[in-house]
Structures are given as structure tokens and as C-alpha cells.
Amino acid sequence: TVLVWPTINITFPLANSRSYTHSIIMASVMRVLCLAAALLPSSVLAFNSRVVPRHTQFRGSSSFGRGGKFSTRHDVTKRRTGGGPLFGGNNDGDNIDPNPGGLNQWSDDDDNKKSFKDMSFFEQIQEWFASDEGKEDVKTYTVSLSVALLLRLLIIEPRYIPSLSMYPTFEVGDQLAVEKVTKRIRPFNRNEVVVFNPPERFRELVGESNRKSKEALIKRIVAVEGDTVEVKMGGKLFVNGVQQDEPFTAEDAEYEFGPVIVPPGDVLVLGDNRNHSLDGHIWGFLPAENVIGRAVFVYWPPWRVGNTGMF
């Protein structure tokens, strides 16, 4: 599950609206299957390995005996009545009664009770939930899931890149971690990459019915409140009259913008792929309260792990 989970979004390409919808559905199905594969079979099999029928006794000259064979009530009864070497004249002294006087407690219920392997799948599940092992496992899984959801809600969450608007910093299919703590304790700085909920102006441009109007976006902060921003001289970015060094961009902008002053409580964000990004130079300023968190590092695919160009 640990290996498969990060690859789920990559497995289903995001090419157009239809494939995107299908990818979301398939990714959700795959995640459910991953959880089921991780949690259910391991617990059921572990429980299965611990279940031994009540009428089973283990025989042998040591704790595992010679040959490691099990004896049922009928085997032991047969030997007690002379049908075997347990109490017969051929006893070599190695076989002894493992539970003297304790074999007269058998009832018809023991013969009629199904073994775990003979149960149907749903009966096995029911038996597992009713067992002490099942209750303990459910408690463990519940606590683990609660902690994971709490971490995702308040501290860090995964995101994937569906487009090339932030190329070359991110490529399509990259998956990254977004931390959500520091936005509450320190202000945003220029050149930080942030994930945010789109502002109202963006929704108006793409249309409220468009799925993109509800999706989180990822861009780079190029100016904070109070900064004077301008794009001029062949696509160069100027902040407060100073040309910015931007080695992370794909190319210079083919447009002019500003000058504008970033209002209080807002930031200006642009995509690194300046000429192929629907960003702040089109829809304006981003309220800082819309920011979900800062992108901190790429964790998938393995050959792109790192945080190059994110700060």
C-alpha cells in the first residue's frame, strides 16, 4: 500500500475533462482497494492462524511433537479404548495423555461447529469482528486513520500537478507535500510556492460550472502587500523598481503588466511558465486567506524528489 498509494494519480493520466473525471473515480477506487488490501486480509489471516478448533489436541514427545501432528477427539478416544498405542501394550513411553481426565467434556456442538476455514467470507469477517483480536485491530486502525486525517487536515497534505503552468519547477504528474502550519505563524515571502483556493475573479473568468473553478491552484508569490509590481522590458519582472532574478521560470513573459500596488492582505502570484499560466496578471490579486499552504518538497516520482526552485 505504501508503494502503490503515491502512484495512483500517475496511473490514470489527466489529459482532458473526461479522462480527468475517470482518473478521479479510478484513483478513489484504487485507494479503497489499497486500504482493504492493507487492513482486511492481514487481520483475517492473522486471526485465522490463531484459531484452533476446540476439540483439537496436540500430541508428541515435545511441545511440537514428532511430526507435529494434531489429534482430534475421535483419534484420542480411539487410542484410549485400545485402538492405538496411547494406553495399549505397545506404548513405548513417548506418547502420554496430554490432558488426563479432560476428554469427557465433548459435546455435539463441537462436532457441528464450523472451522474458520470452512466458513464463508462474510462469516469469517463476522467471526473476526467478534473476536478479541478483531476488536483490537479495529481499534488500532481507527486510531491510525484518525491521526492520519488529523495530520492531513491541519499539518500537511499531498497534492499533484495536473498541468504545465509551473514548468519547469513542476511537471505533470509530480506529487508534492504541502505544509499548512507556517501560514498561521509567519507572513508570506516572495518566491514561495503556494497552493490556494481560487479567488472570486478566477471563478468568474472560467465559469462557476467549470470544474476548474473549484480546484486548488499552485503558483509562485512574486509580490506581497505594499509592493509595486511591473512586467516590462521584454517580459522582465520588476518589484519596487528592481529587476528580479528568476532562474526558475521557463521563459520571459510575452506581455506587459502594471505597474500595480499589491493591496493589504493580498499577494500577487504568477506561474513559472509565464506564457502558459492563468495567473495573477489576468485575474488580479490573491487574498492571503485563500492560501492552503506552502509547497515544501516533491515526493513522487522518485527521480524528482526534492525542493529545487520552491523557495
Round to whole Å and give the CA distance between 225 and 220. 15
Backbone dihedral angles phi then psi of residue 79, each to the nearest 5 degrees: -75, -30
Round to whole Å and give the CA distance between 72 and 80. 12
Q: Is the peptide bond before 13 cis (omega within 30 degrees of 0)?
A: no
> Which residues, listed in sequence order, are joined to residue 270 by a DSSP beta bridge?
220
Q: Are strands 291-300 and 217-224 parallel, antiparallel or unpaired?
A: unpaired
Residue pair 298/174 in contact (Cβ under 8 Å)? The answer is yes
Residue pair 175/9 in contact (Cβ under 8 Å)? The answer is yes
State the maximum Cα–Cα separation within the chain, in Å, rounded to a whole number: 109
Residue 56 in grid coordinates: 483439537
Residue pair 166/219 in contact (Cβ under 8 Å)? The answer is yes
Q: Are strands 175-179 and 156-160 parallel, antiparallel or unpaired?
A: antiparallel
Round to whole Å and give the CA distance between 240 and 228. 5
Inter-axis angle of helices 17-50 and 121-130, nearest 10: 70
Residue pair 239/222 in contact (Cβ under 8 Å)? The answer is yes
Q: How far apart are the first and last CA of the chain?
A: 31
Active site includes 165?
Answer: yes
DSSP state of 241: T
Catalytic residue among 107, 165, 209, 277: 165
**122-127: long-range contacts, CB 8 A cutoff, minimum separation 24:** 124/44, 124/48, 125/40, 125/44, 127/47
Q: Catalytic residue numbers?
A: 165
